[in-house]
Chains A and B, each alone.
Chain A
Amino acid sequence: MIGRRVKLVIATALTGFLVLAGTTAGLAFWSASNTVSSTVGAATLSITTTNVTSVGYTFGNESLVTTGSVTVTNTTTTTSTQNGAVRVTFGPAASATLADKVTATIWATAAASDCTAGATAPSGATSALWSASPVLTASLAQGTSVIYCVRSSIASRETVATSGGSLAFQPKISATITVGSFTGSANATTTQSTQYIYTTSTADLTRWNWIRPNFTSSYNYCLDVSGAGTASGTIVISYGCKTGGSANQNWKFIASGATGYYTIQSRGATALRVDNNNSTASGGSITVNTAAANPATATNQQWQLQQVSPNIYELVNPLSGMCLTSPSGASQNLGNLTQAPCSGTVYQQFKVSQAFENFSCARSSSAWVWSWDSVSTGPYHVLVSNGTTTTELVTTAATAAGATLAFSDANYGNGTYNVSFVDSLDTVVGSGTITVTASSKKNTCSADDFQ
């Protein structure tokens, strides 16, 4: 039996122990807490393409190559030192015929000023049609750029020739920059087009022709060997079309041996050919020079007929790519023809009218009957003048090789009448007379092909 006092002591001791034990455990787990805070952020990738307009160009017969440049810059604002993977696509904004004709040759360079017409593309340059959308890649750090020279070239003017003379497409240069799944992009477009490059035409190699600039002032003008000269180097001029002794105004196309290109022979000096004197300069004088021994390679004597409209052509020299150009003015002699970049003016458009050959007239019963060999620039209009009035009496069929004028007392009193033959290009290609006498059996006629 435990005494009361003992119990009291035990209870007190237990209480003290528990108090001390509890207090010790609490002190052992004192703690503290600190906080470190900040804000993190992710960059937005950005890239630019500049100077894209320098890739734009208008191609002409004389200019089938252009060189521009594009600068692609990583404009991202970032604390990162990572390079962005850059992918630049050179393609058309939309499908277009011209995009399938123009080759883009692209190479990286140190400065845009390197991208000159004379710059040589390195062997590693990328070359593909614009329609193939070639892609170049680069790795760009923040704030750095890559500069690409972009040379656009057309293999030959024939590949882009059209009846309308023009094609166009929009080159689109698209750049993307990527780091992980982050991307940024930019693009810019420009325009490339062709102008005054018309479909080539096949010349009639059998006939002499009048070649006339497509304008009229005081005269109808014809290409003319100045002074009817026969010496090599004689200039070719625009001169009022003649109605006699006009061999120096008649020309024949001769196959040069280069497909689609002809030499142009003077009827008055058959050993001579129209020649640009190996000039590639605008304004270069056009002369007739001795025919080259190898016309297939003598591009200075080659000319291409590009048809602007039926029987109206640009005459393009392959050496310079320039158009035969007539002076303008109103005097009988406008002076020396030159070459110049094709600009679509009437001074660079020429009507080619076949000259009458074997032109003759005969009376048949009570009618006058003319005949000729050339038929390609009809229909022909037969105009009769009694000295005061001119009347169109006959219009032939388009390919007629002759015309018949029926005699009528009502129409023709006694006398002599002048007759003109005008082709569909308003070129007077022949003339004649009819004479009416008291006896119709004595009616006569004549024919003149102006030679």
Chain B
Amino acid sequence: MTGSRAAHPGRRRLRAAQPRLRRLLLILRPTPRGALAAAAALTAGILVAAGLAVGSYAFLNSQASATSAVTIQSGNLALAVQYGSGAAGSTATIPTTAWATMLPGDVVGQQFTLASTGTAGATITARLSAVSAWEIRVAPGTCPATQLAVAPLTTTAATEGTIPGGSATPVCVQATLPSSAAATLSGTTVGFSIILDSTQVPS
């Protein structure tokens, strides 16, 4: 009995506490509606959090490629461009000299290297930052003596192919001053930018 008694004080305390616990449990009682509401709220919160997380990655990637001079690695996707003996990075500049004084009908090719330094392959698209009187073409491989058999770039992205992770490939960029170029272009210069967007190939 002692034991019991000994137990009794605890039971007594429990009993004494039960009304408060019941009231607490009552407050916290998971009714079906409450449970569903809580789950929905949790799900929504997670989805919002996840969505913000994906958006953050894209935003950071985009900013990095546009403004940074260093290779941005996002997860295991990392691409770099390199012209000649210049440093590999998110941007590359081809000297103007190569095509500074073209004549109508001229096709001038320059080569740069596109490297995937990450572990994942990527699908590459290319587009121009702005329209140009010059035709700009890109294609994997070394530059041929003739015009690349691909359509000239526009401001709309066009798929150029894929690049495996951990590899590098030469890319030819050709500038063509069309034979039909207007006489008013004579003596003019214009800058162009090729934007290479890469998307990780799902593994």
A contact set with B: CB distance below 8 Å: 2, 4, 7-8, 10-12, 14-15, 18-19, 22-23, 25-45, 76-80, 82, 179-183
8 pairs of A and B residues whose beta carbons are closest in the complex: A180-B104, A11-B39, A33-B65, A26-B54, A41-B189, A43-B101, A38-B94, A22-B50
Which of these, A11, A19, A38, A41, contacts B50 with CB under 8 Å? A19
Residue on A with the closest CB to B56?
Answer: A26
Residue on A with the closest CB to B99?
Answer: A40
Residue on A with the closest CB to B118?
Answer: A32
Residues of A within 8 A of B32 (CB): 2, 4, 7
Whether, in the assembled complex, B47 has its beta carbon less than 8 Å from a beta carbon of chain A, the answer is yes
B contact set with A: CB distance below 8 Å: 29-32, 35-36, 38-40, 42-43, 46-47, 50-51, 53-54, 57-58, 61-62, 64-66, 72, 74-75, 77-81, 83, 90-106, 108, 110, 112, 114, 120, 122, 129, 132, 134, 173, 175, 177, 179-183, 185-200, 202
Are B90 and A78 neighbours in the complex by a CB distance under 8 Å?
Answer: no
Residues of A within 8 A of B42 (CB): 11, 15
Number of A-B contacts defined by CB within 8 Å:
231
Are A11 and B36 neighbours in the complex by a CB distance under 8 Å?
Answer: yes
Residues of A within 8 A of B78 (CB): 32
Are B57 and A34 neighbours in the complex by a CB distance under 8 Å?
Answer: no
Residue on A with the closest CB to B29?
Answer: A4
Residue on A with the closest CB to B178?
Answer: A180
A298–chain B nearest beta-carbon distance, Å: 63
A82–chain B nearest beta-carbon distance, Å: 5
Interface of A is mostly: mixed
Q: A40-B100, A80-B101 are in contact. Are A35 and B196 (CB under 8 A)?
A: yes
Are B61 and A40 neighbours in the complex by a CB distance under 8 Å?
Answer: no
Are A28 and B104 neighbours in the complex by a CB distance under 8 Å?
Answer: no
> Can you list 13 residue pairs at the A/B interface with Cβ under 8 Å?
A19-B47, A22-B51, A28-B200, A32-B78, A35-B92, A36-B83, A36-B91, A38-B94, A39-B100, A42-B102, A42-B181, A45-B186, A181-B182
Are A182 and B103 neighbours in the complex by a CB distance under 8 Å?
Answer: yes
B124–chain A nearest beta-carbon distance, Å: 9
Most chain B beta-carbon contacts within 10 A, residue among A22, A28, A40, A76: A40
Residue on B with the closest CB to A22?
Answer: B50
Residues of B within 8 A of A45 (CB): 103, 186
